[in-house]
């Protein structure tokens, strides 16, 4: 008799599981039960739909050849029964059945399964802030949300909007609205946007957003939504300031939708996500789970965490299908924590641990390096890419990488993610044979060059100081000798303005009298990207200076104000 | 006393070695001796200069801030003595000295060294074909060549040019000339261009070039250059055909310039490159070598080979410097064979072994897969990327990857190159956590999806057939049942035209009568990219068909003629 597989959830992991089961087992009865109206939505595309990259919402729910992925499609092409606008109200594990409710008729019925898959996703967090039910406060989580926000973007009667939350979705939404001519304020409770990055990297992204006219407020939460006639007119933030607005988008995160699992007595982890083993099997061997509702293993920290990402959901769905059909043949080992987003002309991505995460996770003996350089030769129109690397000091093992900039960040993050999956060390990455040609990279790729900086620090050929460390030093009132080694024209155009002295690199040897007399004086040197800064530190070391540091990443990676 | 380091060669590896030595040792006397006039040329940029991506040749020999890297720059900024237009005529190893000849005065002199570095590069191969000394036959190897070809490109009095050799430089030159409005014919002796790729992948690149108006002739060599008044007027190729032209560029490869090393009694390998150990040290411990003149280890085959690439030269230069200054602290283990080029809108890249190379190197038990898909979602304007993977069948270890297409090939080649450096297996690559957002990739990245195809074949969930295997089958007169499962409109627009039957995937179950009655009949099925083809193969298998194969990569990856 044909096996009965029921998949609860029809967004990403669900349809992927169902389709893969079908490809492996043509006999099975496969049913997808979806609470909403739509199936197999490309939900990561919502911000781009809202922002006008494309205007037909059907593209979000269609195959590449334009066929809508509706119940008819699933039935005809894949012989999968997809039931929409139907909620699963309970799982009866003893009888291996579920109770479903038709949301239009309100009628309940019972369906039996051999194997059940929970792909029930996550829900946006909406804390009980006063006024949160006012009209004009949305999330960007469902197809309906996307269509609604798209209308807001094209109706042009919203002038000012507030985005609450500076994570991935918040930032993407913000760009979408800004493109629609809406004045945007982002409010983030933490001291930085994009919390998966370190502060100084996220700050560079924030600076870019500000340069595009976005207002970013950090370290403030929304305390109240203000309204008139039931419609939002503003938000009050910590400290009492009021930001007037016609619209607000809530994007402070999502929470795994594990209610059904909890009610059924399945094991749920500390993160709130459904617990699964390496085969994506829940505590009930007949029930698997995948996507935004589960918790997964972080392969670097070995801790469990919630990881609501579309790519992971798809991969997990495939694994679930393989294991359901063939009996636990495929492992899903976990994630390394890779994310990326586009913010106007900037790209910001990260993989593995940030310095902050490493510290929080108890990796204390680490080494970091920041490197800035164009993503291809100047004559090919290279654009800057800034990379921060984190590695274990004792072993040289890579722990994490972050990258931001106008250039091709995505390639470098992908390379670093692969290196993390391969558990590679710095020593294995100094001489990588990468695809080099001038349209694609500098002769020494940005990631390799960043590894070289890390190795230079590791082998004590260079002492680095990060922008944050230097700023703290200056704020404490310390007065290191600050030495910019660029040319006078570059200096004229833009400089840090922190009391630095300018001596172009080529003139250092002739200007020894301008340097501190005390050979033990702290000297911090830099240039645009700190390659010349590095050269200079070698020169000064050779002159007998004992305390020379290079400002890592140079002026390009300086996240604070600069003088123009 | 300060150490005396002499570096022979001032292109890529030489200046890199010198600069890195200086950063590590401020006391040393560092001398670069360069035969030509220019130093530190970005020679990989020549085709883009010729093609008009930029027009100022100084950009090829300047720092990012526009300072020319001439002897004055090296002296002032780096305290490195760079001597140009000077040839090293011999190495006297016993006395640790070299004899140099000033090419302007013709005068010889002797210089002593503590450590010597050979970074003498490679020379273009110019076989003694009759007429090869005619005016109008160039190579694209030196700065002078680049300037000369740039003039050809802008003078507009060359109407037809022939590029001899379809390797990386040949193809890049070809694009450069084509952009300048010159009618181009590429002549390649092998049966394909880009010999580091498999035939069917290279053929896709060739097809793109042909679509841009380039004529490509394979399996023919140049037998004679024809001329009038000492100037080229055409080339005669194998078989006697004459291709009229006003200009020819010779790019059939380069040979390591190891004469000086041989004369000095240093060990030279079978490839003709100077032998070095893992510290880039020649058979004389006081002499190191780097760049296009050495031979390196292929980390996959463990054989030695010549690898004249700009990125490798730079990395080797860094290693030489570290080892010279600190005494063999850094290893250069070798290359994996990564290359890439841009050809009009196409990118073609490869890393590791091609199927052909794997066979030649004795890797017989391999498995391959071809995958086509857009590089991001359709709604983001995704463009096709075609990937071919080669893995060891017994272990699942990745051996090589090739990719071509209009989309972001460079990222996927870089990812695969990192996986090869990390000695990763298919099972470690099925669930990679990569940087996913719609502007950068599909939810399942192209490389991961290609790994899934390979795994599907490996686990016998899918039988694939390559375009080449199918074509051979058809050419032998075999008549498999050919089943295109796209929609009628797609079929109307373009089809293989090899006797196929069209049944859209969604209609398969209703059209069983159109399928062969014999369940053991060979059926080959496909769609545009063969995802629907793969779905269909599962359906047919379930119907009891025993010999169903999916045409890998679908119509997008079909290298032969198609019907429009």
The distance of Cα A463 from the centroid of its chain, to the nearest Å, equals 30
Residues B343 and B314 in one domain: no
Q: What is the pLDDT of residues A484-526, one digit of tens each?
A: 999 999 999 999 999 999 999 989 988 999 999 999 999 999 9
Q: Coil, strand, or helix at residue B302?
A: coil
The pLDDT of residue A180 is 81
Note whether A527 and A553 are within 8 A (CB).
no
The pLDDT of residue B521 is 96
Q: For position B529, which CATH number holds?
A: 3.40.250.10
Residues B278 and B303 in one domain: yes
Contact yes or no for B378 and A59 at CB 8 A: yes
Chain A residues near residue B67 by CB distance under 8 angstroms: 506
Q: For position B141, which CATH number holds?
A: 3.50.50.60
Residues B346 and B454 in one domain: yes
* pLDDT above 80 for B544: yes
Chain B residues near residue A539 by CB distance under 8 angstroms: 26
Chain A residues near residue B60 by CB distance under 8 angstroms: 379
Which stretch of A167-171, B301-305, B347-351 has the lowest confidence by average pLDDT? A167-171
**Confidence band for B316, pLDDT divided at 50, 70 and 90:** very high
- At residue A121, φ and ψ (nearest 5 deg) are 75, -155
DSSP B214-260: -EEEES--EEEEEEETTEEEEEEETTS-EEE-SEEEE-S-EEE--HH
Which helix H or strand E contains A525, and what residues bound it?
strand A523-526
**Confidence band for A63, pLDDT divided at 50, 70 and 90:** confident
Q: What is the pLDDT of residues B92-123, one digit of tens each?
A: 999 999 999 999 999 999 999 999 999 999 99
Contact yes or no for A433 and B351 at CB 8 A: yes
| ipTM associated with this complex | 0.95
Residue A537 lies in a domain: yes
Contact yes or no for B315 and A411 at CB 8 A: no
Chain A residues near residue B25 by CB distance under 8 angstroms: 542
The pLDDT of residue A202 is 97
**Confidence band for B494, pLDDT divided at 50, 70 and 90:** very high
Residue B75 lies in a domain: yes
CA distance A195 to A173: 16
* pLDDT above 80 for B1: no
Maximum Cα–Cα distance across chain A: 91
Chain B residues near residue A342 by CB distance under 8 angstroms: 437, 439-440
The pLDDT of residue B35 is 96
**Confidence band for B179, pLDDT divided at 50, 70 and 90:** confident
CA distance A399 to B433: 14
Least CA distance to A340: which residue of chain B? B435
Residue B334 lies in a domain: no
Residue B354 lies in a domain: yes
**Confidence band for B513, pLDDT divided at 50, 70 and 90:** very high
Q: What is the pLDDT of residues B240-251, one digit of tens each?
A: 999 999 999 999
* pLDDT above 80 for A126: yes
Note whether B146 and B44 are within 8 A (CB).
no
Chain B residues near residue A461 by CB distance under 8 angstroms: 23-24
The distance of Cα B66 from the centroid of its chain, to the nearest Å, equals 29
CA distance B35 to B32: 10
Which helix H or strand E contains A122, and what residues bound it?
strand A122-124
Least CA distance to A506: which residue of chain B? B77
CA distance A525 to A547: 11
Residues B8 and B103 in one domain: yes
Contact yes or no for A410 and B380 at CB 8 A: no
Instruction: State the alpha helices, DSSP H only, in B245-360.
Output: 259-263, 310-326, 355-360
Q: Coil, strand, or helix at residue B185?
A: strand
Contact yes or no for B380 and A431 at CB 8 A: no
Number of domains comprising chain B? 4
Nearest to A24 among B168, B424, B461 (CB): B461
* pLDDT above 80 for A531: yes
Q: Please tell me the number of Cα atoms within 13 Å of B307 on its side-chain side.
A: 27
Among A435, A451, A543, which would you mutate to test the B interface (most chain B Cβ atoms within 10 Å of its Cβ)? A435
Residue B94 lies in a domain: yes
Chain A residues near residue B23 by CB distance under 8 angstroms: 461, 534-535, 538
Nearest to A45 among B24, B341, B438 (CB): B438
Q: Coil, strand, or helix at residue A76?
A: helix
Which stretch of A289-293, B250-254, B330-334 has the lowest confidence by average pLDDT? B250-254
* pLDDT above 80 for A263: yes
Which stretch of A83-97, A528-542, B94-108 has the lowest confidence by average pLDDT? A528-542
Q: What is the pLDDT of residues B159-176, one digit of tens each?
A: 999 999 999 989 998 888
Which residues, 6 or more positions from B295, have their beta carbon under 8 angstroms from its beta carbon? B256, B269, B271, B272, B273, B274, B275, B276, B304, B305, B306, B307
The pLDDT of residue B525 is 96
The pLDDT of residue A176 is 85
Residue A335 lies in a domain: no
The pLDDT of residue A26 is 86
Contact yes or no for A461 and B417 at CB 8 A: no
Residues A428 and A530 in one domain: no
Which of A473, A470, A464, A468 is closest to A369 using CA atoms? A464
| Residue A523 β-bridge partners | A481, A548
Residues A451 and A368 in one domain: yes
Q: What is the pLDDT of residues A366-421, one digit of tens each?
A: 999 999 999 999 999 999 999 999 999 999 999 999 999 999 999 999 999 999 99
Burial A430-454 (b: 16+ CB within 10 A, else e): bbbbbbbbbbbbbbbbbbbbbbbbb
Q: What end-to-end distance do the CA atoms of chain B give, in Å?
A: 76
Q: Coil, strand, or helix at residue B306?
A: strand
Residues B350 and B409 in one domain: yes
Residues A422 and A436 in one domain: yes
**Confidence band for B63, pLDDT divided at 50, 70 and 90:** confident
DSSP B102-165: ETTT--EEEEE-SEEEE---EEE-----TTTTSBTEE-S-SHHHHHHHHHHHHH----EEEEE-
Note whether A184 and A161 are within 8 A (CB).
yes
CA distance B382 to A501: 49
Least CA distance to B544: which residue of chain A? A26
Residues B410 and B445 in one domain: yes
Contact yes or no for A314 and B444 at CB 8 A: yes
Mean pLDDT to the nearest integer, A323-352:
96
The pLDDT of residue A175 is 85
The pLDDT of residue B336 is 98
The pLDDT of residue A558 is 95
The pLDDT of residue A84 is 97
Name the DSSP letter for residue B65.
T
**Confidence band for B226, pLDDT divided at 50, 70 and 90:** very high
| Residue B77 β-bridge partners | none
- Asked which of B231, B252, B273 is the last residue of a domain, the reply is B252
The pLDDT of residue A338 is 98
Q: What is the pLDDT of residues A17-59, one digit of tens each?
A: 999 999 999 899 999 999 999 999 999 999 999 988 999 999 9
The pLDDT of residue A153 is 86
DSSP B512-531: GGGS-S-TTS-EEEE-SSSH
Which residues, 6 or more positions from A108, have their beta carbon under 8 angstroms from its beta carbon? A89, A99, A100, A101, A102
The pLDDT of residue B26 is 87
Chain A residues near residue B77 by CB distance under 8 angstroms: 505-506, 535
Contact yes or no for B440 and A342 at CB 8 A: yes
Nearest to A76 among B48, B313, B506 (CB): B506
Mean pLDDT to the nearest integer, B194-220:
96
- How many Å lie between the alpha carbon of B420 and the closest alpha carbon of chain A? 9
Domain that holds residue B21: 4-43+53-122+255-326
Which residues, 6 or more positions from B439, have their beta carbon under 8 angstroms from its beta carbon? A48, A342, A347, B376, B380
Residues A430 and A288 in one domain: no
Q: What is the pLDDT of residues B464-488, one digit of tens each?
A: 999 999 999 999 999 999 999 999 9
Rounded (5°) CA angle A88-A93-A99: 25
Residues A143 and A224 in one domain: yes
Q: Coil, strand, or helix at residue B311?
A: helix
DSSP A49-61: HHTTS---GGGGG
Name the DSSP letter for residue B315.
H
Q: Coil, strand, or helix at residue A233?
A: strand
Structure tokens at B286: 């006081």
Which of A556, A522, A543, A143 is closest to A385 using CA atoms? A556
- pTM greater than 0.90: yes
Residue B127 lies in a domain: no
Q: What is the pLDDT of residues A277-295, one digit of tens each?
A: 999 999 999 999 999 999 9
Least CA distance to A45: which residue of chain B? B438
Note whether A549 and A523 are within 8 A (CB).
yes
CA distance A170 to A161: 12
- Asked which of B442, B458, B474 is the last residue of a domain, the reply is B458
Contact yes or no for B433 and A311 at CB 8 A: yes
Residue A115 lies in a domain: yes
CA distance B25 to B322: 10
Q: What is the pLDDT of residues A434-467, one digit of tens each?
A: 999 999 999 999 999 999 999 999 888 789 999 9
Contact yes or no for B377 and A73 at CB 8 A: no
Structure tokens at A549: 């540091």
Of all residues in chain A, the percent with pLDDT exceeding 70 is 100
- Asked which of A425, A442, A458 is the last residue of a domain, the reply is A458
Structure tokens at B270: 């079978």
Chain B residues near residue A312 by CB distance under 8 angstroms: 433
> Where is pLDDT greater, at A234 or A64?
A234
Q: Residue A405 to residues A202, A299, A344, B437: CA-CA distances in angstroms?
A: 11, 27, 11, 16
**CB pairs A-B closer than 8 Å:** 280
Residues B346 and B235 in one domain: no
Residue indicated by tokens 């179950």? B509
Report the 10 Å Cβ neighbour count for B160: 18
Alpha-carbon Rg for chain B in angstroms: 27
Chain B residues near residue A343 by CB distance under 8 angstroms: none
Torsion of CA B299, B300, B305, B308, to 10 degrees: -70
């Amino acid at each position: 008799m044909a096996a009965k597989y029921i998949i609860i959830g029809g967004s990403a992991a669900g349809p992927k599981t169902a389709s893969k089961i079908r490809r492996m087992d043509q006999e099975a009865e496969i049913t997808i039960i979806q609470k909403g109206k739509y199936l197999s939505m490309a939900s990561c595309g919502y911000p781009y739909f809202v922002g006008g990259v494309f205007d037909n919402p059907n593209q979000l729910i269609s195959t590449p050849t334009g066929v809508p992925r509706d119940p008819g499609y699933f039935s005809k092409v894949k012989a999968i029964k997809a039931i929409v606008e139907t909620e699963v109200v309970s799982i009866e594990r003893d009888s291996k059945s579920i109770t479903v409710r038709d949301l239009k008729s309100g009628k309940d019925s019972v369906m039996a399964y051999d194997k059940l898959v929970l792909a029930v996703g996550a829900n946006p967090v909406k804390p009980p802030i006063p006024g949160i039910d006012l009209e004009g406060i949305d999330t960007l989580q469902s197809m309906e949300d996307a269509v609604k926000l798209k209308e807001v973007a094209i109706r042009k009667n919203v002038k000012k909007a507030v985005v609450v939350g500076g994570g991935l979705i918040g930032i993407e939404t913000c760009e979408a609205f800004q493109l629609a001519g809406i004045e945007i304020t982002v409010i983030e409770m933490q001291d930085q946007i994009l919390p998966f990055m370190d502060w100084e990297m996220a700050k560079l992204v924030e600076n870019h957003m500000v340069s595009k006219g976005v207002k970013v407020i950090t370290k403030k939460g929304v305390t109240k939504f203000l309204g008139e006639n039931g419609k939002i007119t503003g938000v009050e933030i910590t400290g009492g300031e009021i930001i007037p607005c016609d619209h607000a988008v809530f994007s402070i995160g999502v929470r795994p939708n594990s209610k059904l699992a909890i009610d059924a007595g399945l094991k749920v982890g500390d993160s709130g996500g459904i617990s699964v083993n390496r085969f994506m099997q829940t505590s009930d061997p007949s029930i698997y789970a995948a996507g935004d509702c589960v918790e997964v293993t972080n392969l670097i920290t070995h801790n469990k965490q919630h990881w609501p990402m579309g790519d992971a959901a798809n991969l997990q769905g495939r694994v679930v299908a393989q294991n359901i059909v063939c009996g636990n043949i495929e492992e899903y080992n976990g994630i390394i924590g890779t994310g990326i987003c586009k913010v106007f002309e900037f790209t910001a991505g990260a993989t593995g641990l940030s310095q902050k995460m490493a510290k929080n996770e108890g990796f204390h003996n680490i080494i970091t390096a920041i490197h800035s350089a164009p993503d291809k030769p100047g004559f090919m129109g290279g654009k800057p890419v800034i990379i921060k690397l984190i590695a274990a000091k004792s072993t040289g093992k890579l722990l994490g990488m972050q990258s931001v900039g106008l250039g091709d960040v995505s390639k470098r993050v992908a390379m670093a993610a692969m290196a993390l999956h391969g558990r590679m060390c710095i020593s294995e990455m100094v001489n990588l044979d990468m695809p080099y040609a001038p349209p694609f990279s500098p002769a020494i790729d940005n990631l390799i060059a960043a590894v070289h900086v890390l190795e230079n620090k590791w082998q004590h050929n260079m002492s680095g100081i990060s922008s944050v460390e230097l700023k703290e030093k200056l704020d404490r009132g310390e007065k290191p000798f600050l030495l910019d080694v660029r040319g006078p024209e570059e200096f004229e155009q833009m400089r840090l303005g922190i009391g630095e002295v300018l001596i172009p690199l080529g003139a250092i040897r002739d200007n020894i009298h301008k340097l501190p007399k005390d050979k033990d004086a702290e000297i911090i040197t830099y240039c645009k990207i700190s390659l010349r800064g590095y050269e200079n530190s070698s020169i000064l070391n050779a002159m007998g200076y004992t305390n020379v540091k290079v400002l890592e990443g140079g002026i390009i990676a300086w996240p604070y104000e600069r003088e123009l």
